[in-house]
Protein backbone atom coordinates (compact mmCIF):
# COMPACT_ATOMS: atom_id res chain seq x y z
CA UNK A 1 0.00 0.00 0.00
CA UNK A 2 1.17 3.56 -0.77
CA UNK A 3 1.86 5.39 2.51
CA UNK A 4 1.82 9.20 2.50
CA UNK A 5 1.84 11.89 5.19
CA UNK A 6 -0.45 14.94 5.12
CA UNK A 7 1.26 17.80 6.98
CA UNK A 8 0.30 21.27 8.16
CA UNK A 9 1.96 23.87 10.37
CA UNK A 10 1.12 27.08 12.21
CA UNK A 11 3.83 29.68 12.83
CA UNK A 12 4.53 33.09 14.32
CA UNK A 13 5.07 34.55 10.85
CA UNK A 14 6.33 33.94 7.35
CA UNK A 15 10.13 33.87 7.50
CA UNK A 16 12.14 31.58 9.79
CA UNK A 17 15.36 33.41 8.91
CA UNK A 18 13.87 36.51 10.55
CA UNK A 19 13.17 34.66 13.79
CA UNK A 20 9.69 33.30 13.11
CA UNK A 21 9.03 29.88 14.58
CA UNK A 22 6.78 26.85 14.40
CA UNK A 23 4.02 26.82 17.01
CA UNK A 24 1.94 23.83 15.85
CA UNK A 25 2.77 20.78 13.74
CA UNK A 26 0.33 18.08 12.64
CA UNK A 27 0.72 15.00 10.44
CA UNK A 28 -1.88 12.46 9.32
CA UNK A 29 -1.03 9.10 7.81
CA UNK A 30 -2.90 7.95 4.71
CA UNK A 31 -2.59 4.73 2.74
CA UNK A 32 -3.99 4.46 -0.78
CA UNK A 33 -5.46 7.97 -0.29
CA UNK A 34 -7.48 6.95 2.80
CA UNK A 35 -6.71 8.07 6.41
CA UNK A 36 -5.47 5.25 8.65
CA UNK A 37 -6.32 7.03 11.91
CA UNK A 38 -2.66 7.43 12.90
CA UNK A 39 -1.47 10.98 13.53
CA UNK A 40 1.25 13.13 15.07
CA UNK A 41 0.30 16.47 16.63
CA UNK A 42 2.12 18.87 18.92
CA UNK A 43 1.94 22.48 20.08
CA UNK A 44 5.40 24.04 20.27
CA UNK A 45 6.75 26.79 22.53
CA UNK A 46 8.37 29.28 20.11
CA UNK A 47 10.28 30.95 22.97
CA UNK A 48 9.31 34.36 21.65
CA UNK A 49 6.33 36.71 21.47
CA UNK A 50 3.30 36.07 19.26
CA UNK A 51 2.62 38.82 16.72
CA UNK A 52 -1.06 39.92 16.92
CA UNK A 53 -1.61 39.32 13.19
CA UNK A 54 -0.45 35.71 13.55
CA UNK A 55 -2.60 35.11 16.62
CA UNK A 56 -5.63 36.35 14.69
CA UNK A 57 -5.06 33.58 12.14
CA UNK A 58 -4.60 30.56 14.44
CA UNK A 59 -5.69 31.81 17.87
CA UNK A 60 -2.57 30.52 19.63
CA UNK A 61 -1.30 33.02 22.19
CA UNK A 62 2.18 33.24 23.71
CA UNK A 63 0.61 32.50 27.09
CA UNK A 64 -1.00 29.30 25.78
CA UNK A 65 2.23 28.11 24.18
CA UNK A 66 4.51 28.95 27.07
CA UNK A 67 5.75 25.74 28.69
CA UNK A 68 4.78 23.54 25.74
CA UNK A 69 7.54 21.29 24.31
CA UNK A 70 10.29 22.86 22.20
CA UNK A 71 11.03 21.49 18.76
CA UNK A 72 14.62 20.94 19.87
CA UNK A 73 13.41 18.46 22.51
CA UNK A 74 14.49 15.08 21.22
CA UNK A 75 11.17 13.41 21.98
CA UNK A 76 9.50 15.98 19.70
CA UNK A 77 11.71 16.16 16.62
CA UNK A 78 12.64 12.49 16.77
CA UNK A 79 9.02 11.38 17.15
CA UNK A 80 8.14 13.58 14.18
CA UNK A 81 10.90 12.07 12.04
CA UNK A 82 9.98 8.54 13.10
CA UNK A 83 6.33 9.15 12.25
CA UNK A 84 7.10 10.60 8.82
CA UNK A 85 9.68 7.96 7.99
CA UNK A 86 10.53 7.93 4.29
CA UNK A 87 6.98 8.62 3.09
CA UNK A 88 6.08 11.43 0.66
CA UNK A 89 4.74 14.53 2.44
CA UNK A 90 1.62 16.33 1.22
CA UNK A 91 1.21 20.01 2.12
CA UNK A 92 -0.70 23.00 0.76
CA UNK A 93 1.83 25.56 -0.45
CA UNK A 94 4.50 23.03 0.50
CA UNK A 95 7.38 25.49 0.14
CA UNK A 96 6.18 27.34 3.24
CA UNK A 97 5.91 24.24 5.45
CA UNK A 98 9.11 22.71 4.07
CA UNK A 99 11.07 25.90 4.77
CA UNK A 100 10.00 26.00 8.43
CA UNK A 101 10.39 22.27 9.09
CA UNK A 102 13.81 22.11 7.45
CA UNK A 103 15.00 25.28 9.17
CA UNK A 104 14.22 23.70 12.55
CA UNK A 105 15.81 20.36 11.61
CA UNK A 106 18.95 21.91 10.14
CA UNK A 107 19.26 24.15 13.20
CA UNK A 108 19.66 20.95 15.21
CA UNK A 109 22.33 19.64 12.84
CA UNK A 110 19.90 17.23 11.19
CA UNK A 111 19.23 16.75 7.48
CA UNK A 112 16.20 18.52 6.08
CA UNK A 113 13.51 16.64 4.18
CA UNK A 114 14.42 16.91 0.48
CA UNK A 115 12.16 18.83 -1.88
CA UNK A 116 11.45 15.81 -4.10
CA UNK A 117 9.58 14.13 -1.26
CA UNK A 118 7.04 16.95 -0.97
CA UNK A 119 3.74 16.95 -2.88
CA UNK A 120 2.23 20.43 -3.17
CA UNK A 121 -1.57 20.40 -3.33
CA UNK A 122 -1.55 24.09 -4.28
CA UNK A 123 0.41 23.22 -7.43
CA UNK A 124 -1.96 20.31 -8.13
CA UNK A 125 -4.97 22.62 -7.70
CA UNK A 126 -3.51 25.34 -9.94
CA UNK A 127 -2.95 22.77 -12.66
CA UNK A 128 -6.52 21.50 -12.38
CA UNK A 129 -8.19 24.90 -11.81
CA UNK A 130 -5.99 27.48 -13.57
CA UNK A 131 -6.85 31.10 -12.83
CA UNK A 132 -9.13 30.25 -9.89
CA UNK A 133 -8.75 30.81 -6.14
CA UNK A 134 -7.03 27.70 -4.84
CA UNK A 135 -6.64 28.34 -1.13
CA UNK A 136 -7.51 25.44 1.17
CA UNK A 137 -10.80 27.18 2.05
CA UNK A 138 -11.67 27.72 -1.61
CA UNK A 139 -10.94 24.09 -2.47
CA UNK A 140 -13.04 22.83 0.45
CA UNK A 141 -15.97 24.91 -0.78
CA UNK A 142 -15.44 23.76 -4.37
CA UNK A 143 -15.39 20.11 -3.33
CA UNK A 144 -18.24 20.59 -0.78
CA UNK A 145 -16.02 19.61 2.16
CA UNK A 146 -17.54 20.95 5.39
CA UNK A 147 -15.70 23.73 7.22
CA UNK A 148 -18.15 23.69 10.14
CA UNK A 149 -15.59 22.41 12.69
CA UNK A 150 -13.10 25.13 11.90
CA UNK A 151 -13.29 28.56 13.51
CA UNK A 152 -9.63 29.48 13.03
CA UNK A 153 -6.69 27.91 11.24
CA UNK A 154 -5.24 24.97 13.15
CA UNK A 155 -2.64 22.48 11.96
CA UNK A 156 -4.63 19.38 12.94
CA UNK A 157 -8.01 20.39 11.51
CA UNK A 158 -6.32 21.82 8.38
CA UNK A 159 -4.45 18.54 7.87
CA UNK A 160 -7.77 16.69 8.03
CA UNK A 161 -9.31 19.06 5.51
CA UNK A 162 -6.25 18.79 3.29
CA UNK A 163 -6.46 14.98 3.30
CA UNK A 164 -10.03 15.26 1.99
CA UNK A 165 -8.98 17.84 -0.63
CA UNK A 166 -6.06 15.65 -1.74
CA UNK A 167 -8.44 12.72 -2.27
CA UNK A 168 -10.62 14.92 -4.49
CA UNK A 169 -7.62 16.23 -6.42
CA UNK A 170 -6.52 12.64 -7.09
CA UNK A 171 -9.91 11.55 -8.38
CA UNK A 172 -12.42 11.94 -5.59
CA UNK A 173 -15.51 9.72 -5.63
CA UNK A 174 -14.28 7.74 -8.65
CA UNK A 175 -11.10 6.86 -6.76
CA UNK A 176 -13.09 5.93 -3.64
CA UNK A 177 -15.33 3.69 -5.75
CA UNK A 178 -12.29 2.05 -7.34
CA UNK A 179 -10.72 1.37 -3.93
CA UNK A 180 -14.01 0.07 -2.53
CA UNK A 181 -14.51 -2.20 -5.55
CA UNK A 182 -10.98 -3.53 -5.13
CA UNK A 183 -11.64 -4.29 -1.44
CA UNK A 184 -14.99 -5.96 -2.25
CA UNK A 185 -13.36 -8.10 -4.94
CA UNK A 186 -10.65 -9.20 -2.54
CA UNK A 187 -13.31 -10.04 0.05
CA UNK A 188 -15.36 -12.03 -2.50
CA UNK A 189 -12.27 -14.04 -3.48
CA UNK A 190 -11.55 -14.79 0.18
CA UNK A 191 -15.15 -15.92 0.75
CA UNK A 192 -15.04 -18.12 -2.37
CA UNK A 193 -11.82 -19.74 -1.21
CA UNK A 194 -13.30 -20.41 2.22
CA UNK A 195 -16.47 -21.88 0.67
CA UNK A 196 -14.43 -24.19 -1.56
CA UNK A 197 -12.61 -25.77 1.36
CA UNK A 198 -13.62 -29.43 1.62
CA UNK A 199 -16.98 -31.05 2.31
CA UNK A 200 -19.35 -29.89 5.05
CA UNK A 201 -18.13 -31.59 8.26
CA UNK A 202 -21.69 -32.00 9.55
CA UNK A 203 -24.35 -32.74 6.87
CA UNK A 204 -27.53 -30.71 7.03
CA UNK A 205 -30.57 -32.63 8.35
CA UNK A 206 -33.37 -33.65 5.98
CA UNK A 207 -36.14 -31.09 5.70
CA UNK A 208 -38.60 -33.74 4.44
CA UNK A 209 -40.58 -36.04 6.74
CA UNK A 210 -40.27 -39.85 6.87
CA UNK A 211 -43.63 -40.16 5.11
CA UNK A 212 -42.60 -37.80 2.31
CA UNK A 213 -39.36 -39.67 1.75
CA UNK A 214 -41.22 -43.01 1.61
CA UNK A 215 -43.63 -41.64 -0.99
CA UNK A 216 -40.70 -40.36 -3.05
CA UNK A 217 -38.90 -43.71 -2.85
CA UNK A 218 -42.09 -45.46 -4.01
CA UNK A 219 -42.39 -43.01 -6.93
CA UNK A 220 -38.78 -43.71 -7.98
CA UNK A 221 -39.29 -47.50 -7.80
CA UNK A 222 -42.68 -47.69 -9.51
CA UNK A 223 -42.72 -44.72 -11.91
CA UNK A 224 -39.13 -43.70 -12.65
CA UNK A 225 -38.04 -47.34 -12.27
CA UNK A 226 -34.44 -46.31 -11.71
CA UNK A 227 -32.58 -45.60 -8.51
CA UNK A 228 -29.34 -44.91 -10.35
CA UNK A 229 -29.47 -41.18 -9.53
CA UNK A 230 -32.04 -40.60 -6.80
CA UNK A 231 -31.27 -43.71 -4.83
CA UNK A 232 -27.74 -42.73 -3.99
CA UNK A 233 -28.96 -39.68 -2.07
CA UNK A 234 -31.25 -41.69 0.16
CA UNK A 235 -34.26 -39.62 -0.78
pLDDT at 192: 56
Per-domain boundaries in the chain: 3-170
pLDDT at 211: 79
Closest by Cα among 146, 179, 162 to 1: 179
pLDDT at 177: 53
User: What is the C-alpha to C-alpha distance for residues 157 and 155, in angstroms, rounded to an integer?
Assistant: 6
pLDDT at 180: 54
The answer to whether the annotation marks 10 as part of a ligand binding site is yes
The answer to whether the annotation marks 20 as part of a ligand binding site is no
Residues 25-80 have pLDDT tens digits of 999 999 999 899 999 999 999 999 999 999 999 999 999 999 999 999 999 999 99
The answer to whether the annotation marks 106 as part of a ligand binding site is no
Which DSSP symbol is given to 32? Answer: T
For this structure, is 17 an active site residue? no
pLDDT at 151: 79
112 near 102, Cβ under 8 Å? Answer: yes
pLDDT at 75: 94
157 near 150, Cβ under 8 Å? Answer: yes
Is 3.30.420.10 the CATH number for 3-170?
Answer: yes
pLDDT at 148: 87
Give the residue ranges of the chain where pLDDT is below 50.
none
pLDDT at 141: 96
User: What is the C-alpha to C-alpha distance for residues 23 and 149, in angstroms, rounded to an integer?
Assistant: 21
Active-site choice (17, 133, 153, 216)? 153
Q: Is the pTM of this model over 0.75?
A: no
Amino acid sequence: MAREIVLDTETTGFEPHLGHKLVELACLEIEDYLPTGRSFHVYIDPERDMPPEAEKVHGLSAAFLRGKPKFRDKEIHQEFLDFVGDAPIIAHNATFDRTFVNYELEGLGLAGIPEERWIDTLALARKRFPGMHNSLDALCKRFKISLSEREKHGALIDARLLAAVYLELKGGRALTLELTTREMTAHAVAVAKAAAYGARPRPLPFRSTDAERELHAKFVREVVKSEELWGKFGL
